[in-house]
Structure 1
Amino acid sequence: MASTGKIWFITGAASGFGRCLITEVLGRGDRVIATSRSLAPLAALEGTTENLRLLQLDVTDGPDIIKSKMAEAVAFFGGLDVIVNNAGANYTGILEEGGSAFLRKQFDICLFGVMDVTTAALPYLRAQKDGTVVIIGSRSAWIPEVPGIGSYASSKAAVHALAEGFSGELAHLNIRVLLVEPSAFRTPMAKADGFLDGLKRTDGIPDYDVPRNKTLGLFTNFPPPAGDPVRGMRAVVDVVKGEGVAAGKPWPTYLVLGRDAEKAILAKTETLKRHLQEWTEVVRGVEFESNL
């Protein structure tokens, strides 16, 4: 008999966080609809358990196709409980060199894909007045100053704000939103083919060679990340199910994973606090006299 636990819909499930989530969720007795742009990497899982279904899904296919795919997903087990927006891409490159076309490519996957998947799922969650939307963000949203990651960081900053927007709009419907903000983890993303192509382009603007080479050196000599994706996704499942490290704790909305993410967030908030303190007179001095 199939499990009566939660039904999870996971994008980008072929590797990394997504693949770890499949194992963790199934291990808790829940059911999974695992999606990926290509199902080939997931073929070995086909038919291994009645609690798993595979569905081809490209998050950039647009809202109409994604709505159709979501209806197909709902039919597998008769419902949905948890949507995990994990699919993503990281295109490095100098902002001026890539221009808006490069930025649109990044946003299409990391922002608009999240939007289309989430809005395709929401009618089902709203109908049952219950559910969870998980959005995988990144610590990069807090460190966009690193040359070459501006497009990725800005897409993640946008998706962070999107998650917070959904959180405010869905709370009264008993639909929770969890924004996961991970550090670097040992997943295939940073080693993916083409990851550094945008920084290695031969027609780049020479004025950017110094910061470009600094970032290339950073990534080329980057030590193995400290983040363990198995432990990271175990924490995500704990929070969604209120188990393990999350037992007895209130819903967090944010889940920061890793010391590098913690460090980046603390540094940025301290910078903003210093700005507010040093510029208090200007911050407060631009209002009408009656408000001063």
Structure 2
Amino acid sequence: MENNKVWFITGASKGLGLQLTKKLLSKGYKVAATSRNEKALVEVVGNPSASFLPLEMDLTNEQSVKNAVEVTISHFKTIDVLVNNAGYGLLGALEELTDAEARKNYEVNVFGLLNVIRNTMPYLRANRSGHIFNISSVGGYYGGFPGWGIYCSTKFAVAGLTESLAAEIKPFGINATIVYPGYFRTDFLKDSSLLLPQNPIADYKEVRQSENAHKEDINENQQGDPEKLAEVLIKMSHEQNPALHLFLGEDAYNMANQKIESVQKELAQWKSVSVSTGF
């Protein structure tokens, strides 16, 4: 596989973003890696070089995003692969999460991602080539988890806009892939990446159970290997006809199939109602 492509990765100081950045650099790719703190990137990846460009970027500030993209173009002359990885989890019942808590999750997970797409697309479009990976979640396909409604809805949004994006950019020779990871052993379930409601409501016992399970039992016991996930993304970036929907992890694969079977069953059960509404 050719390794002369330039990758632009958001949320690269930890988790999947960090694993992917390290893997790419070890294989000789060029990487522009962004984080809210450039120093944190240098500490975990290394000093800037001809192939590694650490960038401090605020996803929610479009000017900050624009500046980071322009510095990347100045340094590497192009961007070939965009990975919208930055985001965070929010675990709380819809009733107990405040408007501010919900909006902040959207600002980062959805509108921040859109800021990056909006400012990188002119270069990809001019090149008539490229690949955009938008990191959703299996929770962006199946949302039946108590306490994950806002987070799942941000990831559903990422999936929906990526389907439309794929259709919009296909004429320019650019591909888009929605990545739906299951549980991978990263920092995602730690306090720095998973926020809880400021005003929990005692009645939501299942939500509290979910909090405890994710914090105490699932954290650091996830079956997914982020290094293998990084390898998959690199290989997928070289596919002539890459996946639009990419479920990663056996858990994600199984959950997706369970939802598909459930929807098909309901379609069949309620078909007479569904088709009864025409003139």
Is TM (by shorter chain) over 0.5? yes
Offset, 1:49: 4.2
Offset, 1:131: 0.9
What CA distance in whole angstroms lies between the structure 2 residues aligned with 1:211 and 1:241?
Answer: 43
Q: SS in structure 2 opposite 1:96?
A: coil
Offset, 1:204: 2.9
Pair 1:197 & 2:196 matched = yes
Amino acid at match of 2:89: N
**Aligned positions of 1:36-115 closer than 5 A:** 36-44=35-43, 45-47=45-47, 49-61=49-61, 63-115=62-114
Offset, 1:48: 6.2
Q: 2:217 aligns with which of 213, 216, 221?
A: 221
TM-score (norm 1): 0.89
Offset, 1:268: 1.0
Q: SS in structure 2 opposite 1:133?
A: strand
What CA distance in whole angstroms lies between the structure 2 residues aligned with 1:265 and 1:212?
Answer: 22
Q: 2:231 aligns with which of 230, 234, 253?
A: 234
User: Is the contact made by 1:13 and 1:19 (CA closer than 8 Å) also made in structure 2?
Assistant: yes
- Give the RMSD, CA atoms, in angstroms: 1.8
**Aligned positions of 1:61-210 closer than 5 A:** 61=61, 63-193=62-192, 195=194, 197-198=196-197, 201=198, 203-208=199-204, 210=205
Change (3 A) 1:143 1:253: closer
Partner of 2:207: 212
Q: SS in structure 2 opposite 1:98?
A: coil
Offset, 1:37: 0.6
Runs of 4+ residues deviating >6 angstroms: none
Offset, 1:168: 0.6
Report the more deviating stretch, 41-50 or 20-29.
41-50
Change (3 A) 1:156 1:28: same
What CA distance in whole angstroms lies between the structure 2 residues aligned with 1:25 and 1:187?
Answer: 18
User: Is the contact made by 2:58 and 2:64 (CA closer than 8 Å) also made in structure 1?
Assistant: no
Unaligned runs of 5+ residues in structure 2 are none
Name the count of aligned residue pairs: 275
User: Is the contact made by 1:46 and 1:53 (CA closer than 8 Å) also made in structure 2?
Assistant: no
Partner of 2:246: 255
Partner of 1:285: 276
Unaligned runs of 5+ residues in structure 1 are 243-248
Deviation string 1:65-97 (CA, Å, 9 cap, x unpaired) is 312221111111111111110101111111111
Rg larger for: 1
Q: SS in structure 1 opposite 2:58?
A: coil
Offset, 1:23: 1.7
What CA distance in whole angstroms lies between the structure 2 residues aligned with 1:194 and 1:15?
Answer: 10
User: Is the contact made by 2:92 and 2:200 (CA closer than 8 Å) also made in structure 1?
Assistant: no
What CA distance in whole angstroms lies between the structure 1 residues aligned with 2:213 and 2:47?
Answer: 42
Bigger fraction of residues in helix? 1
TM-score (norm 2): 0.93
Offset, 1:196: 5.2
What CA distance in whole angstroms lies between the structure 2 residues aligned with 1:205 and 1:46?
Answer: 44
